[in-house]
Amino acid sequence: MTTAQQGLDVINERFGVHPRHRALHAKGVHCKAEFRANERGAELSRAAHMSGEAIPTFVRLSNGGGDPTVPDYEPDVRGLAVSFQLPDGARTDILCQTLERFPFKDQEGFFDSVRASDRSLAGLARIPGLLLRSPKAIRALPGSLKTMGRAPRADFVVDAALVSRVHCRFTLDHANALELEDLGSTNGTFLNGKKVSRATLSDGDQLTIGRVQFVVNSDANDPGGNPKTTWSV
């Protein structure tokens, strides 16, 4: 079980510590507005902010990551926080984000995704393990974390010799098994020493892209019931 401080340490290790900013959703803009529900809103709810009266409102739009300097065009979760300042001095808060669902079984999967979101070789090495442990993440994470290659447009950039611009892709089959697909790379994608165009990844496989090699090791005896999968270069 990850404690709150351990979770904060994971986030700070990934994004750095930025004084006077939140650990996540660090970059945002605050807006002041007035909310007035229409007649239909009052019919549907007795909540004070749905009465039809003018309600002072504070709104924050944010990028989900922990780096306040990241450009807005970078793929990311987007957040919306709304605080209705009610006439009696109380407030009603609504928080929402663009992630359609939480694709992990527990908080450990989320922290794995934070570690793997680093577009370095260290982060890259964690992606296949993350997807093996939390296969639904590939459909839900921002930017569709699927492709690897040398080009900046690849979801994970591998700036190494013999790696094609967009070298390979990870996808899921109907049984949620993680598949590897070569995308017409010049020097090929190799699984356990054999050149493949498509293959299903499993425990113990060795994947080679250019001169970068990944080895998957899975411990199925995790007391929590979830396999712990670690990839190393």
User: Is 25 among the residues known to form the active site?
Assistant: yes
Spatial separation of the C-alpha atoms in residues 126 and 214, rounded to whole Å:
10
Q: Could you report the per-residue pLDDT of 193-229, keeping only the tens digit for each? A: 999 999 988 877 888 999 888 775 544 444 444 443 3
pLDDT means per 10 residues, the chain with 233 residues, are 87 92 95 94 91 95 92 84 96 88 73 69 55 53 64 75 90 69 94 93 85 63 40 29
Contact of 185 with 171, CB cutoff 8 Å: no
Q: Which of 63, 64, 65, 57 is nearest to 94 (CA)?
A: 57
Q: Is the pTM of this model over 0.85?
A: no
Task: Look up residue 104 and give its two tokens.
Answer: 């992990």
Q: Rounded distance, CA 74 to CA 68, Å?
A: 12
CA distance 212 to 194: 15
Of 18, 21, 25, 30, which residue is the catalytic one?
A: 25
Nearest to 222 by CA among 146, 109, 126, 115: 109
pLDDT in tens, 120-140: 555 555 555 555 555 555 554
Residue 63 CA neighbour count, 13 Å, CB half: 16
